[in-house]
Amino acid sequence: MTVPARARPQGDPPSKALVDLDPIIGVPTALSDRVYASVKHRILTCAILPGARIVEKELCAEMQISRTPLREALNRLSLEGLVSIRPFRGYVAADLTVDDFRQLCEVRRMLESEAAALAAERATDPEIARLEGLAELPFKREDRRTHERYLRANGVFHQAVAQTARNARLEAMVMLALDQHQRPLHLGLGIGMDGQASTGEHRQIVAAIRDRDARRARKVMREHIRSGEDRIATALKAGGY
């Protein structure tokens, strides 16, 4: 089946990660990029659920496009691990499993801890000030409406740390991992998160970067990513993933 997509416009060019997408800023100009951005957004936000079949005919009719740009987009997404091609089923949104999530967190710990260490060595004062401004996460447990704002703010902070490392290849890998990490959170599995605790951990990361302490920045980032892993993995298992 295909889960109905959320009816809202897309954002920045598709080379950007989900955390950069802003529904207010228009859409990519090229048709193939618009289709790619739209389908990717639906998968990452679980408007198309993990394991759901992507019915090309329905999407083509909805977007008023031919199958050529859609298949180009789906093939691009398959290279990113977001779409699978299965015999007799065609294209499906990639499965989401506990083991896959654990592996993703392992990758994030390796990449982002090193990004934080490099940021501690390379950050300028304006960059540190920016990180300080991005550290706070606007989440209240009793207000579900803040959930998506939390996800965006958390992703923007982690992206900013990777940018501060000033290694374009490392940043690209971090952003790919952050994109993949959106899916379990958009399923609502992270709704019990503690926004204050996460904000505090972000501030510890920034403090280590500000103190030029690469070793501490690496350690605090690694612990920050690990802190949410068990909770989300447990929720995935309980949800049958």
pLDDT at 24: 37
CATH 1.10.10.10 fits 18-93, yes or no: yes
Band of pLDDT at residue 233, cut at 50, 70 and 90: confident
Q: Which of 205 and 147 is assigned the larger pLDDT? A: 205
Helix (H, G, I), strand (E, B) or coil at 13: coil
pLDDT in tens, 52-62: 999 999 999 99
Under the banding of pLDDT at 50, 70 and 90, the label for residue 102 is very high
Q: Output the pTM of the full model.
A: 0.80
Asked if residues 63 and 39 have their Cβ atoms less than 8 Å apart, the reply is no
Least confident residue range of 27-41, 103-117, 164-178: 27-41
Domain spanning 98-238 has what CATH number?
A: 1.20.120.530
DSSP helix/strand/coil, 142: coil
List where CATH 1.10.10.10 sits in the chain. Answer: 18-93
What are the phi and psi torsion angles at 92 (to 5°)? -135, 150
Phi and psi at 90, nearest 5°, equal 80, -140
Q: Compute the average pLDDT of residues 72-95.
A: 91
Rounded to a whole number of angstroms, the CA Rg of the chain reads: 18
d(CA 128, CA 108): 21
Residues of the chain with CATH 1.20.120.530: 98-238
pLDDT exceeds 90 at position 88: no
Contact of 183 with 43, CB cutoff 8 Å: yes
DSSP track, 209-241: HHTT-HHHHHHHHHHHHHHHHHHHHHHHHHTT-
